[in-house]
Amino acid sequence: MSPTDLAAEFNESFKSCVNDPLFMDRFYEIFLSSSGDVKLMFKNTDMETQKAMLHISMAYMTKNHKNKAELLLKTANRHNKNNLNIRPHLYSLWLDSLISAAKSINHDFDNNTEKLWRKRLQPGIDLMMSSYHVV
């Protein structure tokens, strides 16, 4: 399968999930139960605002915006040690929770689709993690 075909397959799966009104709720249900640290971080969070912000952040990670790198870097800096203090190990929980939510929403989500999601989202996650200690 060509890179263009893989991108189209990912985009179709991604849109299917994010356009499902249950997806974000399912994601946060899974993510918040993944760790006491995660649950505590979101204790006083307006979850409707958080869902909207997540949707935007995922768009930065998955689409080819002309300012994609700049937008991702701003998000990474907002999450670093000096700001929101999102520790790097939490990103694997985030991705695993996202994948679990996608599997529960999209019944066509198979092992190949999971690999596509992980491959597409990992560069953004790597940036978030590498920006943790940046001053």
Burial code (b: 16+ CB inside 10 Å, e: under 16) for 36-49 equals eebeebeeeeeeee
The third-level CATH classification (topology) of the domain covering 3-130 is Globin-like (1.10.490)
Residues 6+ apart with CB under 8 A from 133: 80, 81
Average predicted confidence (pLDDT) for the chain: 88
User: Which residue has tokens 């939490």?
Assistant: 90
Name which of 12, 23, 10, 21 is nearest 103 in CA terms: 23
Give 100-132 pLDDT, tens digit per residue: 999 999 988 999 999 999 998 898 899 899 999
Give 66-79 pLDDT, tens digit per residue: 566 788 888 889 99
